[in-house]
Amino acid sequence: YVPNAGQDLKRLGYRTNEWDPDWRKYLESLRKKKPVIATGDLNVAHQEIDIANPKTNKRSAGFTIEERTEFDKWLKLGYTDTFRKFNPKKVQYSYWSARGDARARNVGWRLDYFIVSDEMMHAVVDSE
């Protein structure tokens, strides 16, 4: 579980200036020893396709440009979002609010990921 930016983005600075860089540094230290798989709730919808209402959520925790940029930095280090690699245009969510009948209306976010270091991608055959 990755901490989110919080209500009113109160923890956005912590998330993007401390947590994300520290986590990348930790994963890179592991990567020196072996390929890395990171999975779980990363609390970011990386691309507009990963959220039902991108235009109205630009300043919502989990979809700020700051959080998405931090995710980009991770991918640029040589990691791959396996779902998006195999499903570049597929709309699929992993989180729906408990309010407003969001799940029934499929108004969701894709916050859960399998991210692998690029040297391991040859072993990944699918990601749903």
Q: Which of 36, 124, 45 is nearest to 78 (CA)?
A: 36
Annotated catalytic residue 1: yes
Can you say how many angstroms the Cα of residue 114 is from the centroid of all Cα atoms in its chain? 9
Q: Which of 98, 69, 94 is nearest to 84 (CA)?
A: 94
Using alpha carbons, list the distances in angstroms from residue 14 to 2, 111, 127. Answer: 12, 19, 31
Annotated catalytic residue 22: no
Catalytic annotation, pick one of 41, 95, 112, 118:
41
Catalytic site residues? 1, 41
